Amino acid sequence: MTISIGNDHAGTAYKFAITTFLKSKNIVVINHGTDTNDSVDYADFVHPVAKDVETHKAKFGILICGSANGVAITANKHQGIRAGLCWNNEIVELIRLHNNANILCIPARFTAIPQVLKMVETFLNTKFEGGRHQNRIDKIPLSC
């Protein structure tokens, strides 16, 4: 499995922890995030992650910034992306079960690294329920 990951300066430590965790599970990680704490623009890192997921270069994406709102908004501009903002494990489970989310957005300023590692594990191990939820997913894309 391949995961594409991106972060701004607020998520650098989280990205390193998540990457170490994923590699320990023999998951390939594509790093599009900054490796420093110097201020950067999150969108510069979001678009490459969303493109990796859109083109199936990566099965899933993970995005990290201070609130995760900016990365979620940006990622969801891409067709075929269902990015969910999550701050606890229950929400992570629901975005996979009900929304078939393919990008997990993590708010670094409102979570702790041990909590986030559990969230990532839940995201990867939870399967989409389908059924009535698929009908809802099918109504998301907009053709203009």
Catalytic (active site) residue 78: no
Catalytic residue among 65, 78, 86, 105: 65
Annotated catalytic residue within 47, 56, 78, 98: 98
Phi, psi values for residue 31, rounded to 5°? -100, 110
Query: Residue 94 and residue 25: Cα distance in Å, rounded?
Result: 23
**89-97 vs 113-125: helix axis angle to the nearest 10?**
20
Closest CA to 57 of 34, 29, 17: 29
Phi first, then psi: give them for residue 7, nearest 5 degrees: -155, 155
The yes-or-no answer on residue 65 being catalytic is yes
Question: Annotated catalytic sites, by residue?
Answer: 65, 98
